[in-house]
Amino acid sequence: MVSIATGSLAVRREQARERWLQKINADVYVTVGMGTCGLAAGAGDTLAAIEAELAKRNLNAVVGKVGCVGMCSYEPMVELQAGGKPRVNYGQATARNVPEIFASYFDGAPLRKSVVVGEVAPTVIQTNGRALHSLSFVDPESKEKTAFHQKQLRIVLSNCGLIDPESIDDYLALDGYKALETVLTEMTPEEVIEEVTRSGLRGRGGGGFPTGVKWGFARKTPKWPKYVICNADEGDPGAFMDRSVLEGDPHSVIEGMIIAGYAIGAETGYIYCRAEYPLAIRRLEIALAQARELGLLGEDILGSGFGFNILIKEGAGAFVCGEETALMASIQGERGQPWPRPPYPAVSGLWGRPSNVNNVKSYAYTPRIIRLGAEWFKNLGTEGSPGTAVFALTGMVNRTGLVEVPMGITLREIIYDVGGGISLGKKFKAVQTGGPLGGCLPEAHLNTPVDFDSLRAAGAVMGSGGMIVADETTCMVEFAKYFMQFVCDESCGKCPPCRIGSTRMLEILERITAGEGELEDLDEIRRLATGMEKGSLCALGQLAPSPVISTLRHFEEEYRAHIEDRRCPAGKCRALITYEIVADLCTGCMVCMRNCPSNAISGEKRQPHVIDPELCERCGLCMEVCKFDAIIVW
């Protein structure tokens, strides 16, 4: 493959921009969110219904497929623009709702089943004449940003939902590979590292280590070959940040990796992506093939003399392979287990050679930083944590989804302003940040700024970006037990502090939730946690006690209620709850009796019923079907 020349790339970019503008300004332009969340909600059927409706109306339209726009709770999502009308985005746009959406948009008919998310308002951030396009939604009435987008700042996600992730021309149209062009024609490797260092970018994989400093270590190590590795082994429960970036904007990660390769002196890169992400892998393969065809991967890129190639390594779903040394062991064909450090990967990594490992988001930031400048990025967020934070907001909130906010925003703003508050009118109880190795923070910490240092000071961590919200019905002991069970399942078993410590801690939590705990167990939990934190080989074992210790710190009274009173205040631990029918409220309708799977309810028609606690399985079905709120749990 002969590399495309710099001038030819500029021409290709202008042609791509013209085609992209023609596409989005077509007489009829329709896009469908085709990320995993959209496809799971039926976006494929929605697309087929749209094509049928266009044919029925005899409309000549451009139909585009985009990645996730972040509003996962509204999927499937459809954007529609025609005849000079505003671009309107519709949520819950199932195949059945498509005719109604078209009738509403074109004919002014009422809209009942789907939801108007808002009018599409692309935003442009400019620095020194260079633009970063992004997508947001405004309320059709007020023309203000919708609540979900009002406090967001989309940098890493700027192209997601805006371009076709399977089109390199769409990426080029929005200044794609312009940063690579600048790097290879105007900057030395040392200048690239200096620019990234000055930006203050910290790794988004969880550790928060300065990216430019890490690149500098790998650059200075006088051994070859060197490797660039992208950690896309996103294994946290409820996390989908990296997956969405790879599905919606894969070329940004590829461009960032090529720049990193040039900076440290590497010729080969690996993207380690879990096999459970088939769509992300497929789109990466498409993007890599397109980049190779254009000569942006391979030998002599842009006539610079620099060559670089990228391979995909599919992981088998081991959470421990998110740890960089276990990940490299897996790439080498070995069992995914961490190895002792030092030496660190920048000195001796993959196959004993200098290696740079960064997260998906870290590489995706890189082209933006080169294009817009280190000062631009440094002025976003906080002094110690510049830039933005990307979170998968899940749990008991009204608006779940993928959010990107400036560092320094508070937990309260994310949960209540972006997420719309706690669902079903419940009260907030806790938020878990940092995934299964993170910490839980109660209401008193809602004003904590979201950045690396503030979260750590509060007893939590940034992690790779998972954020799970719990409401008042959550049992925090059971919550902690869930994460410890996850750790036990995912521990590689190599070091005793993690392997044995997590097992013993899980056993204690199981005893407590079964009503068999003792107060001495709380001291034992703390003792085990100290041993795991100090003695474990990698971050999995070192941070595994965090959910348990943080819940014990903030909700000790809940642990004590399980132990001293043999009672679960949240009514979740089956062994510690009792269902009772309030005689004054029971009408004797017999609905609960008919639905009870264990025949634990007895009584005559139109007479108060009774639950036999010996037969009751504590499934809660009686409470669900009772229309008179006559069943209580204590």
Architecture of domain 578-633: 2-Layer Sandwich (3.30)
CATH code, residues 476-564: 1.20.1440.230
State the Rg of the chain over Cα.
27
CA 283 – CA 299 distance, rounded (Å) = 23
Residue 140: the pLDDT is 86
Question: How far, in Å, are 309, 355, 380, 401 from residue 301 at the CA level?
Answer: 10, 21, 32, 38
Average pLDDT over every residue of 366-376: 96
pLDDT level of residue 464 (50, 70, 90 thresholds): confident
Average pLDDT over every residue of 597-624: 93
333 by Cβ neighbours in 10 Å (0-12 / 13-18 / 19+) ranks as exposed
Residue 631: the pLDDT is 94
Our CA dihedral for 541, 546, 547, 550, rounded to 10 degrees, sits at 160
CA 12 – CA 152 distance, rounded (Å) = 32
Per the CB < 8 A criterion, the answer to whether 43 and 49 are in contact is no
Per the CB < 8 A criterion, the answer to whether 292 and 1 are in contact is yes
pLDDT in tens, 22-51: 999 999 999 999 999 999 999 999 999 999
Average pLDDT over every residue of 325-351: 96
DSSP 76: S
Residue 3: the pLDDT is 63
Residue 634: the pLDDT is 80
pLDDT at 390 over 90: yes
Least confident of 144-153, 214-223, 419-428, 521-530: 144-153
Least confident of 327-331, 462-466, 553-557, 581-585: 462-466
- Extended beta strands in 532-609, E state: 579-581, 601-602
Encoded tokens for 139: 């309320």
- Which string of DSSP letters, residue by residue, matches 473-508? T--HHHHHHHHHHHHHHH----SHHHHHHHHHHHHH
CA 316 – CA 408 distance, rounded (Å) = 35
More confident residue, 2 or 92: 92
pLDDT at 340 over 90: yes
Encoded tokens for 568: 């679960």
pLDDT level of residue 465 (50, 70, 90 thresholds): confident
pLDDT at 386 over 50: yes
Strand partners, 408: none
pLDDT at 416 over 50: yes
Can you give the residue ranges of every domain in the chain? Answer: 16-150, 176-377, 388-471, 476-564, 578-633
Q: Are strands 28-33 and 62-66 parallel, antiparallel or unpaired?
A: parallel
pLDDT in tens, 147-159: 999 999 999 999 9
Q: How many CB atoms lie within 10 A of CB 151?
A: 16
CATH code, residues 16-150: 3.40.30.10
pLDDT level of residue 1 (50, 70, 90 thresholds): very low
CATH 3.10.20.600 describes domain 388-471: yes
Average pLDDT over every residue of 204-228: 96
Fold classification of 176-377 (topology level): Rossmann fold (3.40.50)
Residue 498: the pLDDT is 96
The residue count for the chain:
634
- Extended beta strands in 194-321, E state: 227-232, 268-274, 309-315
Per the CB < 8 A criterion, the answer to whether 581 and 631 are in contact is yes
pLDDT level of residue 5 (50, 70, 90 thresholds): confident
CA 282 – CA 36 distance, rounded (Å) = 12
Residue 134: the pLDDT is 85
pLDDT at 2 over 70: no
Least confident of 79-83, 363-367, 384-388: 79-83
Strand partners, 397: 422
pLDDT level of residue 126 (50, 70, 90 thresholds): low
What is the percent of the chain with per-residue pLDDT over 90, rounded to a whole number? 88
CA 479 – CA 444 distance, rounded (Å) = 19
pLDDT in tens, 516-545: 999 999 999 999 999 999 999 999 999 999
The torsion angles phi and psi of 567, rounded to 5 degrees, stand at: -140, 140
- Which string of DSSP letters, residue by residue, matches 252-285? HHHHHHHHHHHHHT-SEEEEEEETT-HHHHHHHH
Q: Are strands 227-232 and 268-274 parallel, antiparallel or unpaired?
A: parallel
292 by Cβ neighbours in 10 Å (0-12 / 13-18 / 19+) ranks as middle
Q: Give Cβ neighbours of residue 342 (< 8 Å, ≥ 6 apart).
A: none
pLDDT at 136 over 90: no
Per the CB < 8 A criterion, the answer to whether 261 and 375 are in contact is no
CA 321 – CA 231 distance, rounded (Å) = 9
- The predicted model scores a pTM of 0.94
Place of tokens 């670089």: 308
pLDDT in tens, 271-316: 999 999 999 999 999 999 999 999 999 999 999 999 999 999 999 9
CA 383 – CA 370 distance, rounded (Å) = 19
Q: Which of 200, 152, 91 is nearest to 391 (CA)?
A: 152
